């Protein structure tokens, strides 16, 4: 249950900010969905998870496309690897949703896994892209 303080459970650390175009607001909006889910846990369970998680998958899919499109536009050499990495992230989330369907609810642990998936995308792939942007002097 929410404690009524309005405090967010999941917060993107400063070190995970990319500072380029709309990437950070999109990462934040993914974390927002996870926080909305956390706010709606009742006794550690979120039974009405389908619409929230379909919103999460839709946002994640369009975020990945946004990154891949701009990487293509900028001639980023790591695009193919990054694209595969995105597909792995998406399939992990889809597997997780299947697990939640089997158990009948989303737990805080499931939300943590989703949050870590967002962090994983940033730490393993997006920060590398940031280095490319710096090398191209595209980031200010
Ligand atoms: Fe990303
Ligand atoms: Fe990415």
What percent of the chain shows pLDDT beyond 90? 93
Q: What pLDDT is recorded for position 5? A: 56
22 found inside a domain: no
pLDDT digits (tens, 9 = 90+) for 30-86: 999 999 999 999 999 999 999 999 999 999 999 999 999 999 999 999 999 999 999
User: Which structural domain range is residue 86 located in?
Assistant: 44-135
21 found inside a domain: no
Q: Indicate the number of domains in the chain.
A: 1
Distance CA 48, CA 37 (A): 9
Residues 128 and 40 sit within 8 Å (Cβ to Cβ): no
92 found inside a domain: yes
| Distance in Å, CA 2 to ligand 2 centroid | 31
| Distance in Å, CA 107 to ligand 1 centroid | 24
Q: Is the pLDDT of residue 124 over 60?
A: yes
| Distance in Å, CA 92 to ligand 2 centroid | 14
Q: Is the pLDDT of residue 129 over 70?
A: yes
Q: What pLDDT is recorded for position 139? A: 87
Residues 105 and 45 sit within 8 Å (Cβ to Cβ): yes
Q: Ligand nearest 125 Cα, by number?
A: 2
Task: State the residue for tokens 């697990």.
Answer: 99
9 found inside a domain: no
Q: Is the pLDDT of residue 2 over 50?
A: no
39 found inside a domain: no
| Distance in Å, CA 72 to ligand 1 centroid | 15
| Distance in Å, CA 82 to ligand 1 centroid | 10
Q: Ligand nearest 27 Cα, by number?
A: 1
Q: What pLDDT is recorded for position 88? A: 96
53 found inside a domain: yes
36 found inside a domain: no
The pTM (predicted TM-score) of the whole model is 0.93
Q: Is the pLDDT of residue 4 over 60?
A: no
54 found inside a domain: yes
């Amino acid at each position: 249950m929410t404690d009524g303080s309005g405090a967010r459970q999941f917060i993107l650390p400063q070190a995970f900010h990319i500072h380029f175009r709309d990437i950070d607001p999109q990462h934040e909006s993914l974390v927002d969905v996870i926080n909305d889910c956390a706010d709606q846990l009742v006794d550690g369970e979120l039974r009405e998870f389908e619409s929230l998680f379909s919103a999460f998958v839709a946002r994640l899919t369009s975020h990945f496309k946004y990154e891949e499109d701009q990487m293509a536009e900028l001639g980023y050499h790591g695009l193919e690897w990054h694209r595969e990495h995105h597909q792995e992230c998406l399939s992990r989330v889809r597997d997780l949703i299947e697990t939640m369907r089997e158990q009948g609810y989303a737990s805080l642990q499931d939300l943590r896994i989703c949050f870590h998936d967002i962090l994983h995308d940033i730490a393993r792939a997006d920060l590398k892209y940031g280095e490319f942007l710096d090398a191209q002097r595209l980031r200010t």
